[in-house]
A and B are shown apart, each in its own frame.
Chain A
Amino acid sequence: MSTLSRDEVAKLAGLARIEMTEEELVELSSQFGTILDAVARVQELNLDGVKATSHPQPLENIARPDVVLPSLSPADALSGAPAQEEQRFRVPQILGEE
């Protein structure tokens, strides 16, 4: 039986940038055993030499010409912004590296 510990779930939640309560972490951790067992079935077959499919249709070399088309108006671009200032999206202070 596969498991995913509370701490592992917490680490994944961090990577996925989702704050989670202790209850949520514990609940997810308890559910993951069954789910991981089910998805781990993909490892049952010998898949050596089998190609991976990332795209269901065999398309290739789809590109667009280097031509400028009209952008959104700044008003439209910012229409959904939770906060804005000086025609820019206003966001809380960023902690990350410069």
Chain B
Amino acid sequence: MALNYDEVIEKYNPVLGLEVHVELNTESKMFCSCSTVFGAEPNTQTCPVCLALPGALPVVNEKAIESSIKIGLALNCSIAPYSRFARKNYFYPDMPKNFQISQYDEPICFDGYVDVEIDTDEGPKQFRIEIERVHMEEDTGKSLHVGGATGRIHGADYSLLDYNRAGIPLVEIVTKIVPGTGKYAPEVAKAYVAELRDILRGLGVSDVKMEQGSLRCDANVSLMLKDATELGTRSETKNVNSLRSVERAIRGEMLRHAEILETGGKVKQETRHFQEDTGLTRSGRSKEQAEDYRYFPDPDLVPVKPEAAWIETLRAQLPERPSIRRKRLQKQWAVPDKEFAAMVNADVLDIVEATVLLGADPAKARTWWLGEVSRIANDKSVAIDELAITPAHVAELINLVASGELTDKLARQVVEGVVAGEGTPSEVVAKRGIKVVNDDGALMAAIEKVCAAQADTAEKVRGGHLPAAGALIGAVMKETAGQADAAKVRELLLKFLGQ
């Protein structure tokens, strides 16, 4: 009998371990001068070094070292005064040297932590995720599997290799085991990855695009009985490529482990692959023998010994921590928790802040970005920052409304125009001939017309039944094609009807 989630966490404690790989956004690769631009034609960004041609030698990218140290500092790590690169030896066709240059027992950063906050039944609660290490390594090439039904590796007739990605700098961030998250394990993991993403974005060291693979998460999950003292056997789930997947994968693995344990089985220590479509994990091909990576210090690369003064300079330049910044903005803008969470979820904090810094009212800026603009982005299935509308546009729009030059309704038309690339809000207003009808004569003509057409209703208002005025105002607005200011219409109408 399979347990449901509540029953699982009633009986077991989940233990997490998260390994996040981040592609750094350096111009050139980790150990050679090839470009790292995403999406280039196959094998156009390769050289003797990243193709592992005989005789080629690696030389480390100084920016990659700097970015790694920044990441370590932002994650409250100690920076190693002495660290080395090591070779991790195993054969795989997408890895040209058949060893990966990585770091083994001497990583560049170690012993840090990240605090994340999630909503629990008892209100917001903070969890501390301890960081074991941050180390530098290099990415592999990409293989395309040809033949077979699925385009997957199994059943393929042969594979085609593109080494453009081989040698792109990676930083791997490894947590210590994370106990004590209980039923919130999936949410904590998701919040951790989201926090990492925000920290890395704030540092400007990576594009952190999970869908492009520039941020990838491997999730280790195990279960232990509530009174147990020893850790259970863990599985490692790879291919977790979105925040939502992190949550789903961990929840799924908890359920899968529980089912195995409940039926008297043993969880296998193995690598599993997350399936985006089903939300389940699939077993990788089990190896005949345990890997023996034969790590040893890479003789082609010399030790990294960052000077203390340099580390302190980098520390002083660290941007505000995302969690602190969020608290500051929420307070400054006086946004209730729920609304603020909506902004965080919709990923509009940066853009709203930019709009506010241009003088816009925070509440209005939030409403525009979270409302109309988000809706358009959704309809078009693009990220909000890919639209043609900028914080300057929204700030201008808010000004136009405040000064009465636009009504909210008209402003929405203007947004459409800006998104369609028609120019700034003022330019759209001019081009489309949008303007509020403030001409009393024109408004009076419309009012008289409406009151004549709806004489009964007009009589009611004249007799003191004010709520009936709404229908008339609506009709006048319609008559003026929405270009009138509703407050003005009301004022003139009531005056006309002797109220």
Interface size classification for chain B: 35 or more
**In the complex, what residues of A have CB within 8 A of residue B60's CB?**
62-64
Interface pair A93/B43, CB less than 8 Å apart: no
Interface pair B160/A88, CB less than 8 Å apart: yes
Interface pair B59/A15, CB less than 8 Å apart: no
Interface pair A66/B292, CB less than 8 Å apart: no
How far in angstroms is the closest Cβ of chain A from B37?
Answer: 9
Task: Give 1 or 0 for each of A7-31: 1 = CB within 8 Å of chain B CB.
Answer: 0000100110100000000000000
Max chain A Cβ within 10 angstroms of own Cβ: one of B43, B53, B63:
B43
Q: A59 CA to B305 CA in the complex, in Å? A: 10
Q: A60 CA to B26 CA in the complex, in Å? A: 22
Say whether B294 faces chain A, with CB atoms less than 8 Å apart: yes
Interface pair B62/A65, CB less than 8 Å apart: yes
Given the known interface contacts A63-B60, A64-B59, A97-B285, the answer about A72 and B144 at a Cβ–Cβ threshold of 8 Å is no
Given the known interface contacts A15-B294, A64-B61, the answer about A93 and B157 at a Cβ–Cβ threshold of 8 Å is yes
Say whether B65 faces chain A, with CB atoms less than 8 Å apart: yes
Q: A66 CA to B159 CA in the complex, in Å? A: 32
Q: A38 CA to B362 CA in the complex, in Å? A: 77
How far in angstroms is the closest Cβ of chain A from B494?
Answer: 69
Task: Give 1 or 0 for each of B133-163: 1 = CB within 8 Å of chain A CB.
Answer: 0000000000111110000110011111111
Say whether B297 faces chain A, with CB atoms less than 8 Å apart: yes
Give B307's nearest chain A residue, CB to CB: A61
Interface pair A92/B161, CB less than 8 Å apart: no
Interface pair A69/B302, CB less than 8 Å apart: no
**In the complex, what residues of A have CB within 8 A of residue B157's CB?**
93
Q: A24 CA to B41 CA in the complex, in Å? A: 44
Interface pair B143/A94, CB less than 8 Å apart: yes
How far in angstroms is the closest Cβ of chain A from B30?
Answer: 10
Say whether B51 faces chain A, with CB atoms less than 8 Å apart: yes
**In the complex, what residues of A have CB within 8 A of residue B281's CB?**
none
**In the complex, what residues of A have CB within 8 A of residue B303's CB?**
55, 60-61
Say whether A68 faces chain B, with CB atoms less than 8 Å apart: yes
Give A63's nearest chain B residue, CB to CB: B62
Interface residues in A30-74 (C-beta closer than 8 Å to B): 54-55, 59-69, 71-72, 74
21 residue pairs A–B, Cβ–Cβ below 8 Å: A17-B91, A62-B301, A63-B59, A64-B33, A64-B62, A66-B28, A66-B61, A66-B62, A71-B34, A71-B35, A72-B47, A74-B42, A88-B144, A91-B158, A93-B147, A93-B156, A94-B153, A96-B92, A96-B153, A97-B287, A98-B284
B: which residues have CB within 8 A of A? 26-28, 33-35, 41-48, 51, 53, 59-65, 84, 91-93, 98, 143-147, 152-153, 156-163, 239, 271, 273, 284-285, 287-289, 292, 294, 296-297, 299, 301-306
Beyond A55-B299, A74-B46, A87-B43, 19 additional contacts (C-beta under 8 Å) are: A54-B296, A54-B299, A55-B303, A62-B302, A63-B65, A65-B62, A69-B28, A69-B33, A77-B43, A78-B43, A88-B161, A89-B160, A93-B153, A93-B156, A94-B145, A94-B159, A96-B92, A97-B271, A97-B285
A: which residues have CB within 8 A of B? 11, 14-15, 17, 54-55, 59-69, 71-72, 74, 77-78, 80, 85-98
